[in-house]
Amino acid sequence: MSYPTDRKYTKEHEWITPDVKIGITSYAQDSLGDIVFVELPKVGTELAVGKTFGTVESVKAVSDLYAPASGPVTEVNGALATAPENVNKDAHAAWMVKINVKDPAELNSLLSAADYEKFVNEEAGH
Amino acid sequence: MSAVAATPPTIRKTALNPVHRQMGAKMVEFNGWEMPVEYPAAIGCGIVNEHMAVRTGVGIFDVSHMGDIRLAGPEALAAVQHISMNDASRLAIGQAQYSALLYPEGTFVDDVIVHRLGVDEYLLVINAGTREKDFSWVYKNVRESAHPFDCLVENLSDDYTQIAIQGPKAIDLMEKLSAAFVEVPAKELNAPFQTLKIEADYKNLKFYWITEGRTMAVRANAQRLFDSKTLIGRTGYTAEDGFEIYIPSDEAISAHVWYGLLAAGKEFGVLPCGLGARNTLRLEGKLPLYGHEISDTINVWEAGLDRFCKMEKAEFIGREALEASRKEPLKKALVGLEMIDRGIARDGYKVFDSSGKEIGYVTSGSPAPFLKKNIALAYVPPAQAEIGNTVLVEIRGQGVKAQVVPTPFYKRPKKS
């Protein structure tokens, strides 16, 4: 599996693009299985880096979403409310929220596509 | 997203464990057993697809983690009648019934399927997590009580691989395997067997009856032959028609039968199914799960299992307590809930009445893949148990509206 190089990644399997959309990786959706429910914050909610900002639920489990960066939510992908399976179909296209990044320096500590792939391979190989 | 926990060293494995891993199943720990929760999306599986395969075609499950206790001897029936709440004297040879083993308080040791195998021979099939507890309980109450019963009490749990074949097309799959030998594509070059036949008479095998079949596996040059009697029950835990077969817990024969079922079942849309689908299927059918709807703190009346409890039997463990509690008003009742507002009620979530007072808890909750609803079973006071009553389920700090609905949520369509 390779990961799009146009974005940054977290160890909790979220990604963040330059136009500041946030979602979860294809590794995450594969681990979760069929996604049946996505709970996202309202527009205006302040995300704090490293803190939970929503949940994604598979049939069996609830998983927290962790913010890759801080800032207010400017847009929410409403389609995921009725079609959560979009995350399974194409996790890298199924953005969840868009934010205004308060401190761009936060993005520097995130993983590149190559580093994330390495991290995932190590984790998967345990 | 949380990481996967490492497997503890004392975890137990069924004979089919290598096969599940070979197929790429996601493995989880369940009551001390390493079991598949679902198979890969890459082979068309996943909890939702597996669930739908059982509702519309056929799915197979490794349920070898369940336990088996055999009682045989002149007083086997009397022993069963003493420990089991249902009336086993109604069982003809080859018939089975759902029942439960109770504590003197009228609460549950475990639920069980009692099979009558012969004149004085009974097989109790019990839950995985309660194997040792149940066997000790049965042995103590049958062989070590003040008046021991004259019968053997044997723990056969490790002797069998148990495979469930479930769905409206399960009968087609079993009849195909009974009619002729089926080629089983080998996973290894020097696989011990190449073809499989499981002969049995299904014409007269009604639901909740069992029969003795014959499993034969052959290698083309006839150097290896497996030929053994196989217990086949028309039983299951999915609210569909289906079968459970009991074959020796030998790894080679278990793998061969598993792959044989998948090969023969291809034309019927067969999928291997894990514990994830097993849970969503039984939940739709309102089948209880030990530790959730039934436990050692819940009695028969609260769980709504009256019809399996034959109080007209003169004696069984728990009868006295049940006689007394039957006269009193119920403190709680098991109800079915359907979420009205967005949200999924899950095991352990608290339930509140519409005024915000805490009234109970969810015993099992999940999305229902066939019904396409979010459903749950919950204990609430009887006053709140009326169909149509609105309650709130606490989901991450918020009260989310749900409604009491009739159960079972799903009933399989009658065959015309």
Ordered DSSP codes for B83-146: HBSS-GGGPPTTBEEEEEEE-TTSBEEEEEEEEEEETTEEEEEE-STTHHHHHHHHHHHHHSSS
Q: Confirm whether B412 is domain-assigned.
A: no
Q: How many CB atoms lie within 10 A of CB B103?
A: 15
Strands of the sheet with B26-30, listed across from one edge? B12-13, B33-38, B26-30
Q: How far apart are CA B15 and CA B106, in angstroms?
A: 36
Q: Between A24, A37, A60, which is nearest B37 by CB?
A: A60
> Please, what is the average pLDDT of chain B?
94
Q: Confirm whether B413 is domain-assigned.
A: no
Q: Which residue of B has its CA nearest to A24?
A: B1
Q: B243 and B339 share a domain?
A: no
Q: What angle do CA B238, B241, B243 make, to 5 degrees?
A: 85
C-alpha pair distances (Å), B332 with each of B223, B346, B377, B401: 62, 19, 13, 20
**Between A and B, how many residue pairs show a Cβ–Cβ distance under 8 A?**
53
Q: B146 and B227 share a domain?
A: yes
Q: Which residue of A has its CA nearest to B49?
A: A34
Q: Which residues of A touch B (CB under 8 A)?
A: 12-14, 24, 28, 30-34, 36-37, 39, 55, 57-60, 62-66, 81, 88, 123, 126
Q: B60 and B167 share a domain?
A: yes
- Identify all chain A residues contacting B280, using CB atoms and an 8 Å cutoff: 59
Structural domain ending residue among the three candidates B328, B347, B379: B328
Q: Which domain holds residue B385?
A: 330-407
Does residue B110 register a pLDDT over 60? yes
Q: What is the pLDDT of residue B186?
A: 74
With a CB cutoff of 8 Å and minimum separation 6, the contacts of B202 are B171, B174, B175, B178, B211
Q: B359 and B268 share a domain?
A: no
Q: Confirm whether B416 is domain-assigned.
A: no
Asked whether this complex has an ipTM greater than 0.90, the answer is no
C-alpha pair distances (Å), B335 with each of B27, B260, B347, B383: 31, 40, 14, 11
Q: B122 and B252 share a domain?
A: yes
Q: How far apart are CA B174 and CA B7, in angstroms?
A: 35
- pLDDT class of A18 with cuts at 50, 70, 90: confident
Q: Domains in chain B: how many in total?
A: 2
Q: B164 and B55 share a domain?
A: yes
Q: What is the pLDDT of residue B189?
A: 57
- Mutation test of the interface with chain B: which of A13, A22, A29, A34, choosing the one with the most B Cβ atoms within 10 A? A34
**Which tokens go with B153?**
């009490």
Q: How far apart are CA A96 and CA B218, in angstroms?
A: 55
Q: B385 and B283 share a domain?
A: no
Q: How far apart are CA A26 and CA A1, in angstroms?
A: 9
Q: Please give the average per-residue pLDDT across A97-110, as a whole number.
A: 91
Q: B75 and B118 share a domain?
A: yes
Q: How far apart are CA B29 and CA B15, in angstroms?
A: 16
Q: B167 and B271 share a domain?
A: yes
CB contact under 8 A, B276 and A59: yes
Strands of the sheet with A62-66, listed across from one edge? A35-39, A52-58, A62-66
Q: Confirm whether B267 is domain-assigned.
A: yes
Question: What is the CA B346 to chain-centroid distance, rounded?
Answer: 20
Q: B282 and B187 share a domain?
A: yes
B128: domain CATH number is 3.30.1360.120
- Identify all chain A residues contacting B369, using CB atoms and an 8 Å cutoff: 59
Q: What is the pLDDT of residue B9?
A: 60
- pLDDT class of B57 with cuts at 50, 70, 90: very high
- Identify all chain A residues contacting B396, using CB atoms and an 8 Å cutoff: 39, 55
Q: What is the pTM of this model?
A: 0.93
Does residue B25 register a pLDDT over 90? yes
CB contact under 8 A, A37 and B1: no
Q: B40 and B148 share a domain?
A: yes
Q: Between A13, A36, A59, which is nearest B1 by CB?
A: A13
Structural domain ending residue among the three candidates B276, B311, B328: B328
Q: B291 and B396 share a domain?
A: no
Domains (range + CATH), chain A: 8-103 (2.40.50.100)
Q: What is the pLDDT of residues B316-353, one digit of tens each?
A: 999 999 999 999 999 999 999 999 999 999 999 999 99
CB contact under 8 A, B342 and A88: no
Structural domain ending residue among the three candidates B293, B328, B363: B328
Q: Between A12, A33, A64, which is nearest B38 by CB?
A: A33
Q: Confirm whether B221 is domain-assigned.
A: yes
Q: Confirm whether B165 is domain-assigned.
A: yes
Q: What is the pLDDT of residue A123?
A: 83
Q: Please give the average per-residue pLDDT across B262-287, as a whole number.
A: 98
Q: Confirm whether B414 is domain-assigned.
A: no
Q: Please give the helix or strand (H or E) that residue B374 lies within, else none.
A: strand B373-380
Q: Which residue of A has its CA nearest to B364?
A: A60
Q: What is the pLDDT of residue B42?
A: 93
Q: Between B2, B3, B366, which is nearest A59 by CB?
A: B366
Judge residue B146's burial from the number of C-beta atoms within 10 Å of its C-beta, 0-12 exposed, 13-18 middle, 19 or more buried: exposed
Q: Confirm whether B415 is domain-assigned.
A: no
